[in-house]
């Protein structure tokens, strides 16, 4: 297989989204599949991990600005701890990887590889909290978790082990905990909208689809180009159920003993999957400049007699950009022609390409080309660092606008069962419909087209849709507006 063939994406995003996605992930050097016998695991390569580091840096900064401290809890959870909160054990039981032996000895009690850490964090928070003065308490950990789901591997979207952060907080009151839940949901929204160029919807999960043991599960949902929704980050108000199960209580000012109100919230490398899926195309990866490891690649174009002047000029520009904090790569490889380089850096998702030949040198300009639409603009050599920041803003705005257009065009309404089925079947996307709140009505849709209720809006935002209406499925009185969609 020649290098050229290896470089190209052969699948079509539009017609074979799944295969295309897998190809982009591998050919752009983001991840490989795990070893034989370990389906569901992936190896995150440096170019993929660098994207995750950018997401970490952004969120970690936001968390720390808002009172969160990082900590680290054990990888394993004793089975008896998992069992203390009955919803947790029921919710995760079928998905747990179990450690049964340490060295040559069988363990007395088997240990769960953490599927999430509420049941080991809550008992420690219980030790740390005595009085109302110790609240709010906010800890977060960046960690890997394991959920033994037997589905097809989809790198970053669906893997048995995944990287995430999980935040856990305790508060005096329901209001304090609810504010926390919303603060974290907003930070997730901001990651998507301000860093990843992906507009999201916010909502709550239906009762039967909440995090096990939670009072309320809220989520941001992102619509992928294939019409499926991704649960892109979740923030749970846990009520007092975990506090009661793990004796997380505090003494009030009046010396009463009260259970704390707790929250947990998590965002995983699924965000990376959404990023790749949303913007990339049949040429490969597309990244917004906010997160691209290289924001600009400079491709010099020379003949033997112009090589020196072109290279000197290109090096100068690279230095200027670097000094201004721009992440720039000068591709001065002699053994590759410009066309090859264009393809390679397009595949890798560099948002802005500078083409510099002898004409550019003579005119004191550079030709800047946007990824993905190929728009080309001439920039003055002077103030190049400022000019390129404007190009970044433009590229970002284009990516965001395209994703927003897709989202806005794909939220539809329906008032009857067949309308829900037909609309999702034909267009994908979200269908808003009045709903009685009964899981059976969701099941009827799920059984037919594998679409489910991915959220109901918070704060009754879509009240006009269900007020005085009948459930689109069963015809009973509607209580909520349900967003039906197929989902990842």
Task: Copy the structure tokens of residue 480.
Answer: 């909520």
| Contacts of residue 24, Cβ cutoff 8 Å, sequence gap at least 6 | 9, 30, 276, 280, 284, 285
User: Can you tell me which residue has the tokens 């890997």?
Assistant: 144
When the beta carbons of 113 and 177 are compared against its own copies, the nearer one is 113
How many angstroms separate the CA atoms of 448 and 420, rounded? 11
Structure token pair of residue 319: 């230095």
CA neighbor of 82 nearest in space, from 71, 90, 70: 90
Specify the long-range contacts of residues 398-401, CB closer than 8 Å, at least 24 apart. 398/370, 398/373, 399/197, 399/278, 399/279, 399/286, 399/288, 399/372, 400/193, 400/197, 400/198, 400/199, 400/288
Nearer to its own copies, 128 or 324 (CB): 128
For its own copies, give the closer residue by CB, 103 or 254: 103
If we measure between CA atoms, which residue out of 181, 200, 178, 204 comes closest to residue 189? Answer: 200
Q: Which is nearer to its own copies, 79 or 394 (CB)?
A: 79
One DSSP character per residue, 245-292 reads HTT-EEE-TTS-EEEPEEEEEEEETHHHHHHHHHH-BTTB----TTT-
Q: Is 481 helix (H, G, I), strand (E, B) or coil?
A: strand
Query: Smallest gap, in angstroms, from Cβ of residue 322 to its own copies?
Result: 14
| CA quadruple 178, 182, 184, 189: dihedral, nearest 10 | 160
The rounded distance, in Å, linking the Cα atoms of 276 and 254 is 53
- Nearest approach, Cβ of residue 432 and its own copies (Å): 35
Q: At what angle do helices 307-323 and 384-409 cross, to 10 degrees?
A: 70
Nearer to its own copies, 144 or 252 (CB): 144
Residues that bind its own copies (CB under 8 A): 32, 34-38, 41-46, 48-50, 52-53, 69-76, 78, 80-81, 93-104, 108-111, 113, 120, 123-124, 127-128, 139, 143-144, 146, 148, 150, 160-161, 163
How many residues appear in the chain? 488
CB of 263 to its own copies, least distance (A): 17
Residue 253 or residue 305: which is nearer to its own copies going by CB?
Answer: 253
Smallest gap from Cβ 143 to its own copies, in A, equals 8
Report in angstroms how near the CB of residue 168 gets to its own copies at its nearest.
Answer: 12
- Min CB(318)–its own copies separation in Å: 18
143/163 Cα distance (integer angstroms): 6
Closest distance to its own copies from the beta carbon of 121 (Å):
9
- Of 35 and 468, the one with the shorter C-beta distance to its own copies is 35
The C-alpha angle 433, 434, 439, rounded to 5 degrees, equals 95
Of 98 and 324, CB closest to its own copies: 98
Minimum CB–partner distance for residue 181 and its own copies (Å): 21
Give the H/E segment covering residue 203.
strand 201-204
The minimum distance between CB 195 and its own copies, in angstroms, equals 19
Distance (Å, whole) CA 465 – CA 479: 10
Residue nearer to its own copies on the CB measure, 5 or 100:
100
Q: How far is the CB of 447 from its own copies (least distance, A)?
A: 24
In terms of CB distance, is 148 or 396 closer to its own copies? 148
């Amino acid at each position: 297989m020649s290098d050229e063939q290896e470089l190209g994406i052969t699948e079509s995003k539009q017609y074979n989204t799944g295969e295309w996605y897998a190809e982009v992930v591998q050919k752009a050097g983001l991840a490989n599949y795990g070893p034989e016998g370990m389906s569901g695991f992936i190896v995150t390569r440096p170019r993929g991990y660098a994207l995750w580091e950018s997401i970490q840096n952004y969120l970690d900064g936001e968390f720390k600005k808002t009172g969160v401290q990082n900590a680290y809890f054990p990888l394993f959870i004793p089975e008896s701890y998992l069992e203390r909160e009955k919803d947790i054990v029921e919710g995760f039981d079928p998905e747990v990887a179990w450690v049964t032996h340490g060295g040559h000895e069988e363990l007395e009690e088997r240990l769960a590889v953490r599927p999430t850490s509420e049941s080991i964090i809550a008992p420690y928070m219980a030790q740390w909290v005595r009085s109302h003065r110790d609240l709010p308490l906010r800890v977060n950990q960046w960690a890997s978790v394991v959920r033994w789901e037997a589905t097809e591997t989809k790198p970053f979207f669906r893997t048995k082990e995944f990287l995430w952060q999980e935040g856990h907080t305790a508060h005096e009151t329901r209001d304090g905990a609810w504010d926390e839940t919303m603060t974290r949901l907003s930070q997730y929204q901001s990651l998507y909208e301000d860093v990843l160029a992906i507009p999201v919807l916010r909502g709550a999960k239906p009762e039967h689809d909440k995090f096990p043991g939670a009072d309320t599960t809220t989520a941001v949902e992102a619509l992928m180009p294939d019409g499926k929704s991704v649960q892109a980050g979740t923030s749970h108000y846990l009520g007092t159920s975990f506090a009661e199960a793990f004796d997380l209580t505090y003494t009030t000012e009046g010396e009463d003993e009260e259970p704390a109100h707790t929250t947990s919230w998590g965002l995983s490398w699924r965000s990376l999957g959404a990023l790749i899926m949303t913007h990339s195309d049949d040429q490969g990866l597309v990244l917004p400049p906010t997160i691209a490891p290289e924001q600009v690649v400079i491709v010099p174009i020379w003949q033997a007699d112009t090589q020196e002047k072109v290279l000197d000029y290109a090096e100068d520009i690279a230095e200027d950009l670097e000094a201004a904090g721009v992440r720039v790569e000068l591709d001065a490889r002699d053994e590759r022609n410009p066309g090859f380089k264009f393809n390679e850096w397009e595949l890798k998702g560099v948002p802005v390409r500078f083409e510099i030949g002898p004409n550019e040198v003579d005119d004191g300009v550079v030709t800047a080309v946007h990824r993905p639409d190929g728009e080309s603009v001439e920039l003055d050599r002077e103030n190049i660092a400022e000019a390129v920041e404007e190009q970044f803003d433009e590229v970002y705005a284009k990516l965001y606008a395209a994703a927003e257009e897709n989202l806005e065009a794909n939220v539809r309404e329906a008032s009857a069962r067949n309308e829900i089925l037909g609309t999702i079947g034909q267009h994908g996307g979200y269908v808003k419909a009045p709903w009685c709140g009964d899981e059976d009505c969701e099941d009827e849709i799920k059984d037919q087209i594998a679409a489910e209720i991915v959220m109901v809006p918070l704060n009754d935002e879509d009240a006009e849709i269900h007020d005085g209406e009948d459930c689109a499925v069963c015809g009973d009185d509607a209580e909520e507006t349900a967003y039906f969609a197929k989902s990842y």
